[in-house]
Amino acid sequence: MQRLDDHGIAYNLSHRPNEGLVTVNLRDPDDNRLHVDFAASEWKAGMVPLRVSAR
């Protein structure tokens, strides 16, 4: 998420505890939607809190 923030890329980050996932939704430069899931267990202390970034 730090790289997205560093480049001013807006994203929606959500925690799906029932599925054990963290989901990131964003758009590429051509305005295509991108959806990435990763295991909630990969969430590390010190990472930005789960939130919506509006840039």
How is the chain split into domains, by residue range?
Answer: 2-53
Per-residue pLDDT band at 44 (split at 50, 70, 90): low
Is 42 within 8 Å of 13 (Cβ atoms)?
no
- The answer to whether 41 and 20 are in contact (CB under 8 A) is yes
Q: Strands 33-39 and 52-53, how do they pair?
A: unpaired
Give the pLDDT of residue 26. 94
- pLDDT category at 3 given cuts 50, 70, 90 is confident
Residue (of 3, 11, 6) closest to 53 by Cα position: 11
Name the nearest CA neighbour of 34 among 6, 12, 52, 8.
Answer: 12
pTM above threshold 0.85: no
Q: How confident is the model at residue 47 (pLDDT cuts 50, 70, 90)?
A: low
